[in-house]
Chains A and B, each alone.
Chain A
Amino acid sequence: MKPSTVAISVIFFIVFVASVVGFRAGAGRKMNLEEWSIAGRSFGLLFMWLLMAGEIYTTFAFLGASGWAYSRGGPALYIMAYITLGYVISFYILPYIWELGSRHGLQTQSDFFEKRYCSKGLALLVSLVGVLFVIPYLQIQLTGLGIIVQVASFDQIQRSTSMLIAVCLVALFVFFGGMRAVAWVSVIKDFLMILAALSIGIYVPVHYFGGVGPLFHTLSTTHPAHLVMPGATKTMGHLWFISTVILSACGFYMWPHTFGAAFTAKNGSILRRNAIVTPLYTISLVFILIAGFAAVLVVPGLANGDMSLLMLARKSFPPWFLGVIGGAGALTAMVPAAIIILTASTLFAKNVFRPIFAPQMSEDKVSKLAKAMVLVLALISFSLALHSSSTLVALLLLGYAGVTQFFPGVVLGLFWPRVTAIGVTTGLVAGLATIATLMLSHRDPFHGVNAGFLALALNFAMTVFVSLATPVQANPLPLLTDLSRVFKTKALS
């Protein structure tokens, strides 16, 4: 058999098995919107961990991290730092978001803004911005998947074909299985991804250099500047590192889908314990970075750094194992894509369509519309991915800069009773305008500082100042002490 046939068969087998698991997970459950979109608020520690790992360790972690280590060097370390610190921040906000969510029946990020600030306009703005910035993120997944299948099939299968197949599978299992299906597919994905990361990160240095130590010794003599910042770049120094890490860590749970994941938990303390366990998973990224650094010496001169991990695997492993790595990679694209599509469809149906066009719409109809939107969004993202050319990290940075602008509204909304709807709206608009100006005119980083970070700082300042200048607004979602007593006595009686 030709090597490409072997590799492709293995990839298809893995993707097929995972999709079947996804279909079966939702079978036989009555699916109202709450069950479909947030699994009926039922996830315990294990499933919560799987879901969070599922949505964070995307093709970006797989291809983008190694791609950065390969093409830029030292700046790639920002990925390890921001993911860990993102979990640290989650400890202080997610349990509270969960509690308000379960007490007031919130299902989406925009629900939070609508109920907290009593402003339909702000909620609508948040929904639109959320959907807008999540599309590049979705596109990253599909582009990554296309690259994976192309390399693993020795260029036998076109990117567009593999993307189309994957999009159809994702749409189907989201449509039928909802969030529960996604968490189940994530089980297989996590297992395979750790296997792939370990085998590349350990086998490759040992095979070519006799160990990780010799690899880095060689690299530090041949490419002395590559292992520290700014690496192969001119602008990504320490100031860039600090500002980007803070921005990305703040934005970590501001994506509509990561924010929404908080609502799937069974209780708030699960989210706290989750923040203890999840950073440890970041260790698997170390192996991927090592692979990217090894690729500098083993497969030099690639035009697209995002392909380095797979080219390295193709050169080092037999075809069947390349298939396993490709299958793992395909699932790391499909799981996050599924979560994003699911969240964005719910957002669109519940927080954009219903308030504008049909305020009287029943929950059941919203649920049907959300499911129909799954198919529409899948097609939109597919057509965008067909025409995309930017590298993965560049797209991700744009999205992060955008969604992080929700951070002041969320954090101040939780902990500062004085914040007002006008304040948050002004800050959000100012932040978004700053990003648009700096990023679209290619001035990011701006004097060594991440442009999104500058926007976030301006946003924070505007939110606080304008809130203080506008009349006091009652907080309908207080983090109370009395209400929970009422709840407890009710539960006891």
Chain B
Amino acid sequence: MRKPSLLAVAIGLIPFIGMCFSVGWWDRVSPMVFGLPFNLFWLILWILLSSGCMAFANRVEERRKKDQPL
């Protein structure tokens, strides 16, 4: 297994931006979505998106392994 590729690392930074650094923007009650305060809704949304990001990063790494076998 080689070091993670730059693209895979960049994908991993996306959830950090969505869930952590942008807290000042999303930490509010309104607008409520599905009856949830906006901050709670936002985090649930990003749990799903983070899982998606990891799936994408995994594909990037798998493809690299196939294209350039060791």
A interface list, Cβ under 8 A from B: 74, 77, 80-81, 84-85, 87-89, 91-92, 95-96, 99, 211-217, 220, 224, 227-229, 238, 241-242, 245-246, 268-269, 272-273, 275-277, 279-280, 282-283, 286, 289, 415, 479, 481, 484-485, 488
Say yes or no: A479 contacts B23, CB within 8 Å. no
Taking a contact as CB atoms under 8 Å apart, the answer to whether A238 and B23 are in contact is: yes
Q: Are B12 and A88 in contact (CB under 8 A)?
A: yes
What is the size, in residues, of chain B's interface with A at 8 Å between Cβ atoms? 40
Known interface pairs A74-B27, A92-B4, A245-B20; 11 further A-B residue pairs with C-beta atoms within 8 A, sorted by A's residue number = A81-B19, A84-B19, A89-B12, A91-B57, A212-B34, A212-B35, A212-B36, A228-B37, A245-B19, A272-B58, A485-B70
Residue of A nearest to B25 (CB): A238
* A484, B1: Cα distance in complex, Å: 8
A85 touches B36 (CB 8 A): no
8 Å CB contact of A81 from B2, B43, B62, B70: B43
Q: How far is the CB of B2 from chain A (nearest CB, A)?
A: 6
Task: Check A217/B32 contact, CB under 8 A, given A74-B39, A484-B1.
Answer: yes
Whether A286 touches B39, Cβ cut-off 8 Å, given contacts A85-B50, A277-B51, is: no
Would you give 16 A-B contacts (Cβ < 8 Å), ordered by A? Answer: A80-B47, A81-B19, A81-B43, A84-B19, A88-B12, A88-B15, A88-B53, A92-B4, A213-B32, A213-B34, A220-B30, A241-B20, A272-B58, A279-B50, A280-B48, A479-B1
Q: How far is the CA of A481 from the CA of B68 in the complex (A)?
A: 11
Residues of A within 8 A of B32 (CB): 213, 216-217
Contact of A272 with B61 in the complex, beta carbons under 8 Å: yes
Instruction: Tell me whether A81 and B12 are in contact (CB under 8 A).
Output: no
Residues of B close to A92: CB separation below 8 A: 4, 8-9, 12
The A interface, classified by DSSP as helix, strand, loop or mixed, is helix
With A91-B57, A99-B1, A268-B1 in contact, is A85–B16 under 8 Å at CB? Answer: yes
Query: Nearest chain A CB to B45's CB is how many angstroms away?
Result: 11
Task: List B contacts of A273 (CB < 8 A).
Answer: 58
Closest residue of A by beta carbon distance from B51: A279
Determine how close the nearest CB of chain B comes to the CB of A481; give it in whole angstroms.
5
The residues of A that contact B62 with a CB separation of less than 8 Å are 269
Chain A residues near B55 (CB-CB < 8 A): 276
A276 x B58 contact (CB < 8 A): yes
Question: B1 to A96, Cβ gap below 8 A?
Answer: yes
Cα(A215)–Cα(B4), bound, Å = 45
Q: What's the Cα separation between A211 and B62 when bound, in Å?
A: 44
Question: Judging by beta carbons under 8 Å apart, are A227 and B15 in contact?
Answer: no
User: Which of B34, B40, B53, B62 has the most C-beta atoms of chain A within 10 angstroms of its own C-beta?
Assistant: B40
Query: Could you tell me if B35 and A88 are in contact, using CB atoms closer than 8 angstroms?
Result: no
Whether the pair B29, A220 counts as a contact (CB closer than 8 A) is yes
Q: Tell which of B3, B28, B30 touches A415, judged by Cβ atoms closer than 8 Å.
A: B3
Q: Cα distance A222–B2 when bound, in Å?
A: 54
- Closest Cβ of chain A: how far from B13's Cβ, in Å? 9
Q: Tell me whether B36 and A238 are in contact (CB under 8 A).
A: no
A211's nearest neighbour on chain B, judged by CB, is: B35
In the bound complex, CA of A198 to CA of B16 (Å): 27
Contacts of A485 in B (CB 8 A): 70
A479 near B50 with CB under 8 A, answer no
Q: Name the one of B1, B9, B37 contacting A220, with C-beta atoms under 8 angstroms.
A: B37
A88-B16, A211-B35, A479-B3 in contact; A77/B47 too (CB < 8 A)?
no
Q: Which residues of B contact A87 (CB under 8 A)?
A: 50, 54
Known: A88-B50, A229-B27. A283 touches B44 (CB 8 A): yes
Contacts of B21 in A (CB 8 A): 242
Report B-chain residues with C-beta under 8 Å of the C-beta of A84. 15, 19, 43, 46-47, 50
Nearest CB in chain B: distance from A99 CB, A: 5
